[in-house]
Each structure stands twice: as structure tokens, then as C-alpha cells.
Chain A
Amino acid sequence: MLERSPVFIISVRVLGNHGGDDISAELSENAEASVASGPVLQFKLSDIGEGIMEVTVKEWYVKEGDRVSQFDSICEVQSDKASVTITSRYDGVIRKLYYDVDAVAHVGSPLVDIETDKALEGDPEEDVVETPAISYNQSHKKNQATPAVRRLAMENNIKLSEVVGTGKDGRILKEDIISFLAKQTGAILPYEVQKIPTPVISTAETPPKEETPIMAPLAIPRHIFSGKDRTEPLNGFQKAMVKTMSAALKIPHFGYCDEVDLTQLVRLRSELKDMAESRGVKLSYMPFFIKASHNIGLAMDTPQGLLVPNVKSVQALSVFDIAVELNRLQTLGSAGQLGTADLTGGTFTLSNIGSFPKNPHLPYLRRTAEQETRTTSKEQETLTHVVVWNNMRIGGTYAKPVILPPEVAIGALGKIQVLPRFNSRDEIVKAYIMNVSWSADHRVVDGATMSRFSNLWRSYLENPAAMVLELK
């Protein structure tokens, strides 16, 4: 017997808040919901405790027309520094929300209307606090289980009353159904510890050895492919990338590749590295590559994606200055603090790809507060040296990088490899070789110019002493 007569609602009603177009969508979405033909019950806001009579509704987790199961969260309310999650007592469909966000709700007043699935047993009181299992009248024993568990039991022809529940208040959990099944079929399930038979002999003065756990053979987890593609909205960074790349591909690219012998530079850098470090600056090869050019952008992988901040007026900076600036940009980049001035205005871009094999996932690790302080410079190096042209690979290799508008050229630097080469005396020597692939805007840059630039750039790097002599 219901204390209150249900509010009349037929499942197919004109939804005043929605436009006419939405009705058919609403109905088909809720095709399942429209089957709910039980009474519509007012679900009242229960006593929160501590004599509180009013709360503020802060967030709704459901909207009208949504299907809810017993124990699903309905809304979040706040009172006096306490945030309270209100959960549903019934399975059914939400038919009405009584409050807007930020409205004040009164304890004891209706919060939502729920159209239940079928007639309920017992008294639909509004309190959500569970009574302990022992107080249930045995003859009216209602086995507690979520709809999913009930379905599982039904599919396996199991009577809930025969299953021992190990959840809170004797609630029957999925695990309980599974172990019930196991007992029935004698199957060995993963993660079940085999019981050691009770020891016959016990000469125990010493305490019994701790049971060595026997691990049942682990079931190989089967990945179930649902075969469904997932559509995800583009985040802001991806949108920016799409915009930039769409503009980039309107530029007629031509490519030019070359090989640079960095043997002398490797030697020079190893000599200068410690000096720079004593001044707190990490000296990679990049400052040299950059000094050999002009206003230059540097493709950098960050936790959010590819960013290209640039080092300005390189001609006025020493190699050390450039290294300082690079360190600064790397720090800002990984902390997500680069401004628009850092991100635009480059003349061309250098992209350093996979020069050292490192964990490509390092930039994507979330760091806890304590780990933040443990970031080593090694990790920062990885951040600059991994290029993410994930979606924009052309031809399967990195030999044709894409120009970033409005720049006119880009260089992709490959790995530094140790290879045998002939020197001027026709002897085979060990050389440090790096490949560079340039792309240039053919409307603005012709082949000869590109070639001249690349040769000059290469000559500075192959003979670093010339850089010291000539570059301001």
C-alpha cells in the first residue's frame, strides 16, 4: 500500500522544455525507459543528520528522462562544509527534477520524481540510510543486489536466495555469483587460492610457517574488441594543430636532404659541456645548430602536444646564450607557460627527431607533487628531442617535414650515428654523421638558395672554429 498516490505520468508525454524535434529523439533514446510503467514516486530529500534542514543543490548527475538504477548517484548537495551525494533508492526513469543548481532544497521535500520499473514491495519510505540486514523480516527477505548482478544470476539460472552475499549488509556481489557458479561446476577460476588440506601432524612448538600462497594459473585476460570506433572531440591543442597544418599544406613544399659530419662538433661540445653545467646550463647540440641559423623555432614535445617556441635574434646571441634561452623555453614548455610571443614569430623551424633512444612516453607521465621536484635534466632533454608529428607523417619517414606557416623553411634533424667515413687521406675513420632534411616554400625559396643555406649551415657545424670566427 502506497502512502501517497503516485503522480500521474504516462511515459509518452509532451516534454515542455524541449523543441518538437527532440521528442522523437527522446522517445527512441528512452525506448527502454518508456517501458517503465510502474508508479511514479516522489523521492524526498532525506535527513542529512546533525539537525540540518536545508541544503544547496550543487550538481545534478541525472536529467529528466535518464534511466537510473538503485544506488546510482542523483545529485550532489552541500551543507555546512559537507558535500553529500544523494543516491537513488529505486530503479526507474527520472521524470522531474525539483530544483535548479544553486537552489536551496529542504529536507523532507521532494527532490526528484522517479517512475519505477514495477510495483515495489513494501513501503517506499524516502530515507536512503540502509537498515542492517539482520533487521529484515525473514519471510520478506529481499535479497540485495544491483540490477546487473540480478541479471547475471538470472542468466545463469541462479536463485539469489541460495547465494551468500559478502557485500555490505549481506549484499550479493558479482563475485558471489561467480564463486557460487564455481562451486556448482567445480571450475577453477583465476585468482582463487587453492586451500591447503589441514595438516595431519602438528609438532608445533614453533609457530606454524606462514602459508605459502599457491597462485592458481592466471587466466590470460582476453581483450574483448567491441569493434566500435570511438569519436572524441578535438581538444584545443589538436584544433590548433589542424588549423596550422591545413594552412601549411597549401604551401608548395620542396625537399632537400644532406649529411653533416659532426665529428668536430661532438668533440667541441664534450669539451664545453662541463663549463656550461658549472654555470647551471645544459648544453646540447641544439644551441650550435641554432647559432648556425637565424630567428629559429624549435619543435618541442610537451605533455599537451607539439609546441614550437622560438629563440629570437639568434645572430645577436652566443651559443651559451642560446643554450640558456633553450633551457628557459623547455622549462616553460613543459609547465605549460609559454606565451604567444614565444610561440610565434620564428623565421624557420628546426625539428630534432629521435636523436637518443629514450622512453617516448616520458613526457606523458603524470607527475605527483613530489615527483615534480625530482625531474632531472635528462628528462627535459627527452622533451625536446621527441618530435610528435603523429598525424602528419608524410611518406612514412621523417624525410619531408611540414613547414609551419608563416615560416618559409623547416629542417628535420635525424639521429647522430657513428659511421665509417673516408678522410682526406683516404683512411677510414670514425665519424659522427647526422642527416638533415629541409623543406622550403617554393614560392619564396628556390633550390639554389636552399642549397647555399644548407651548405653554409653544414660548414659551420662541420668546422665549428669557423663559427667562432665569423658568426657575430
Chain B
Amino acid sequence: MILRLSNRACVLSGSARLKSTLSTYFDEMGKAGIILKSASAGIFENLALEDWIHDHVDLQNRSILLLWRNSPVVVIGRHQNPWQECNLPLMRRLGIPLARRRSGGGTVFHDFGNINMTFFTSKKKYDRHRNLKVVTSALKALRPDLDVTATDRFDILLNGHHKISGTAAKLGRTSAYHHCTLLCSVDRSILSSVLKSNTSEVIRSNATLSVPSPVKNLSDVDPTLDADTIMEAIASQFNNEFGFDSPVITVDPAHEALMPGIHKMTNDIQMWEWIYGKTPKFSVCTSLVVDDVNIKLDMDIKSGTVEKCVVEIPEDWLPPETVNEFTSALNGSKYCPNEAAVLVAAFMRTRSMSADVAGKIHRLCEGVLSVM
């Protein structure tokens, strides 16, 4: 069941006994501290792995560190509004997916140059400052001259100015997890362009807002620092700080037999209803210019669904009945450009209209879609 790769690393392979889950394996191990590394680069699998550990592993007398990295993705916090936080049209064009995590905090961009660390503990042992100390000490052990400090906002700053790590946390009934990022060699040009929303000014909401900070990669100050070296150092320092002696165990989050229920968790967090539907209610209020005509657009969106859509259009440009039908096509639909386009197309198919009117509706729709 366990392949020992070295004294410090091993891989959990197929569960030989059907009864054994990751949870019972930890119990059998009997260690107070365990270090895990995810074999997956998929954000949804990794977020589900966090959830699974949080829900199923007994953390009252045990602490776990999970190390993981993802292919390019934008991750928003539990109570955030993606339309305010990132540039969704750009992400769609670049094929960068969006994920919503269960912890609070702000929006981040991950790619392979970023290391994620999750510290699982009981609620009593929940201590973010101590966890961040593991990270800063590990970095200083690697490069003693490195100026990295944790702030009281739980960020880690490089040279007192550039943010290289952000933190978020999730507290449950009896246990908690604190996770943080670490910028080693992330693509900063993509990071800055996707994290800049194209519609934040037109949105009114009470969602948690991210606090933008200037960022830097560790590799910018020391190109010899790579993610693997840093992960190893953090694992060692975790053992040192808490007096543990765990090897780094690789876990595959796709392994349903080892973690019963994890497939469903992975699916659940990919649903539109979670990623977009959990956005706290907000409204969009903007002026579009279509064909040199000023159009006022006013929408209320709750649970990601358009609850109210009002468009103010000069009567001589489009007849009011047409405008009403246009807005009722959008009412009750998801605040999603694909769905909106399909609904408006269906409306256009089923109503005879001149080519002139059809063209105007196309351009009006394009304008409305541009804020989705």
C-alpha cells in the first residue's frame, strides 16, 4: 500500500484493503504530524482534497500540512464576486478557468510557479502566525540573506514591500485549515491582467473585495530558488517547528477508494451554481453606447441569476415592445454570456423582425454581454 521512495518520501498506492481509507491509514500511522503532497495539478481535485481532509480526518490530536500546485487558474474567496475581481472575458479567451474556494479572503492567480500550503489543525491549535513562521524560517534556512517577513494581515512580504504570499482560512465545527500561497516563479504578466476586472466600476455589491498589492516572485531576487527545493524546505521546517517526523506522502485526489466521496466533492465545486451562483447579490448599473445611442442598463443579480433587467432605450431607436421582449428573455436567466446569447437568439428566431432591427439587437446584445 505504501511505496517508500526514500526515507523522506513515499506514495500511497492503491488501497489493498477496501476498508482502508486515508483516514484509517493516518490512524494506523499513529503520527501526530503528517505531510502530504498532492499528485494532481487540477484545482478542483485539490480543493476537494482539502474539503475531504477537513471533513473526514480526525484532527483533534494531529496536524497535517498539504503541499499542492495547480495549472493556471484564478481562485476567488468564498464570499467574493468574480465580476469584480477578475477579467472573465480575458480568462475565457485564454482558457483559464475560475474556481471558488471555501475559505474566505481575496482572489489569487495560480500556476505552476506558485506553491499552495494548507495547514490542517484542530480549532484549538489554529495559529496562522505560527504556520507563516514555518514558511519564513524555511526560506531563511535556504537563503539566510532573504528578507521575508509575515505581516499582521497574514501576508508575507519580500524586502518589506512586495507581497509573495497571501492567506485564507476555513473554520469548521472542530477543526480548521489555514492555507496560503507562495509566489516562486509565477507568470506575472498573466497574473496582473487576469486579476484586473473589466467591470468593477459598474458593480454595486457587498462582496468581500480583494486588496491589490504589488507582487514579486522569489525567483526574481534569486533565480536559483525553484518550487521543488522550497517545498522540501517547508516540509522540513514543518517537522522542526512542531517536533514532527513525517515523510512527504504523495496522495492522488482522484482516488475514490482511498477517499470515499471525493469524486462528488470534486464535481460539486465545478458546478456553475457554486462558482458563480454563490456570488452575494449585486447590481450592475452602466451606460452602453451602441450605434451612437446611449443605453442605460440596470440589472439585479441574485445567486448568479438575473432578477431584474431594465434597459432604457430611446423609443425611436427600438420599439418598446421589442425592448421588453429582449429584457424578458434575459430575466430569470443565468448571468452568463453564453446563456444570454442563446436566449436572445431564440427570441430573435421566434419573432419576425426586419434586418435593421435584428442588427440593432445584435449590437445591443453584444453590449450587454460585454459586462457578463
Asked if A and B bind, the verdict is yes
Tell me, yes or no, whether B300 is within 8 Å of chain A by CB.
no
Q: How many residues of A contact B (CB 8 A)?
A: 64
Known contacts: A343-B342, A369-B41. The answer to whether A78 contacts B79 by CB under 8 A is: yes
Tell me, yes or no, whether B287 is within 8 Å of chain A by CB.
no
Taking a contact as CB atoms under 8 Å apart, the answer to whether B345 and A128 are in contact is no
Tell me, yes or no, whether B216 is within 8 Å of chain A by CB.
no
- A101 surroundings in chain B (CB, below 8 A): 280
Tell me, yes or no, whether A76 is within 8 Å of chain B by CB.
yes
Q: How far is the CB of B288 from chain A (nearest CB, A)?
A: 15
Q: With CB as the reference atom, state the residue of chain A lying closest to B333.
A: A236
Which of A82, A338, A371 touches B171 (beta carbons < 8 Å)?
A82
Q: With CB as the reference atom, state the residue of chain A lying closest to B352.
A: A406
Which of B40, B333, B345 touches A344 (beta carbons < 8 Å)?
B345
Known contacts: A58-B79, A82-B171, A340-B348. The answer to whether A236 contacts B267 by CB under 8 A is: no
Q: How far is the CB of B14 from chain A (nearest CB, A)?
A: 11
- A354 surroundings in chain B (CB, below 8 A): none
Taking a contact as CB atoms under 8 Å apart, the answer to whether B42 and A191 are in contact is no
Taking a contact as CB atoms under 8 Å apart, the answer to whether B41 and A240 are in contact is no
- A342 surroundings in chain B (CB, below 8 A): 341
Taking a contact as CB atoms under 8 Å apart, the answer to whether B78 and A76 are in contact is yes
Which of A130, A215, A244 touches B349 (beta carbons < 8 Å)?
A244
Tell me, yes or no, whether B223 is within 8 Å of chain A by CB.
no
Tell me, yes or no, whether A370 is within 8 Å of chain B by CB.
yes
Q: How far is the CB of B349 from chain A (nearest CB, A)?
A: 5
Taking a contact as CB atoms under 8 Å apart, the answer to whether B60 and A81 are in contact is no
Segment touching B, from A83-91, A268-276, A421-429, A444-452: A83-91
Which of A132, A305, A335, A339 touches B369 (beta carbons < 8 Å)?
A339
Taking a contact as CB atoms under 8 Å apart, the answer to whether B79 and A247 are in contact is no
Q: With CB as the reference atom, state the residue of chain A lying closest to B97.
A: A369
- A240 surroundings in chain B (CB, below 8 A): 342-343, 345-346
Taking a contact as CB atoms under 8 Å apart, the answer to whether B42 and A169 are in contact is no
- A78 surroundings in chain B (CB, below 8 A): 78-79, 104, 208
Q: How far is the CB of A179 from chain B (nearest CB, A)?
A: 11
Which of A81, A213, A341, A371 touches B169 (beta carbons < 8 Å)?
A81
- B267 surroundings in chain A (CB, below 8 A): 366
Which of B97, B124, B206, B339 touches A372 (beta carbons < 8 Å)?
B97
Q: How far is the CB of B278 from chain A (nearest CB, A)?
A: 8
- A246 surroundings in chain B (CB, below 8 A): 350
Known contacts: A81-B167, A192-B19. The answer to whether A369 contacts B43 by CB under 8 A is: yes
Whole-angstrom distance between the alpha carbons of A79 and B369 in the complex? 34
Whole-angstrom distance between the alpha carbons of A27 and B18 in the complex? 46
Tell me, yes or no, whether B270 is within 8 Å of chain A by CB.
yes
Tell me, yes or no, whether A453 is within 8 Å of chain B by CB.
no
Tell me, yes or no, whether B135 is within 8 Å of chain A by CB.
no
Known contacts: A82-B103, A369-B43. The answer to whether A132 contacts B341 by CB under 8 A is: no
Tell me, yes or no, whether A307 is within 8 Å of chain B by CB.
yes
- B343 surroundings in chain A (CB, below 8 A): 236, 239-240
Whole-angstrom distance between the alpha carbons of A80 and B285 in the complex? 29
Contact with A along B81-117 (1 / 0, CB 8 A): 0000000000011011100001111100000000000
Q: How far is the CB of B270 from chain A (nearest CB, A)?
A: 5
Tell me, yes or no, whether A45 is within 8 Å of chain B by CB.
no
Whole-angstrom distance between the alpha carbons of A240 and B280 in the complex? 27
Tell me, yes or no, whether A318 is within 8 Å of chain B by CB.
no
Q: With CB as the reference atom, state the residue of chain A lying closest to B122.
A: A129
- A102 surroundings in chain B (CB, below 8 A): 206, 280
Query: Which among B96, B154, B174, B280 has the highest number of chain A CB atoms within 10 Å?
Result: B174
Tell me, yes or no, whether B365 is within 8 Å of chain A by CB.
yes
Taking a contact as CB atoms under 8 Å apart, the answer to whether A236 and B16 are in contact is no
Tell me, yes or no, whether B170 is within 8 Å of chain A by CB.
yes
- B369 surroundings in chain A (CB, below 8 A): 339
Taking a contact as CB atoms under 8 Å apart, the answer to whether B174 and A129 are in contact is yes
Which of B78, B174, B340, B352 touches A58 (beta carbons < 8 Å)?
B78
Q: How far is the CB of B329 from chain A (nearest CB, A)?
A: 8
Taking a contact as CB atoms under 8 Å apart, the answer to whether A307 and B358 are in contact is no
Q: How far is the CB of B335 from chain A (nearest CB, A)?
A: 10
Q: With CB as the reference atom, state the residue of chain B lying closest to A81.
A: B105
Contact with B along A322-361 (1 / 0, CB 8 A): 0000000000000111111111110000000000000000
22 residue pairs A–B, Cβ–Cβ below 8 Å: A49-B123, A78-B79, A81-B154, A82-B104, A82-B170, A83-B79, A83-B105, A84-B172, A129-B123, A130-B174, A169-B60, A193-B19, A236-B343, A237-B342, A239-B346, A244-B349, A247-B349, A304-B338, A304-B339, A304-B342, A336-B336, A369-B42
A-B pairs with the 5 shortest C-beta distances?
A336-B338, A240-B346, A368-B42, A343-B345, A83-B104
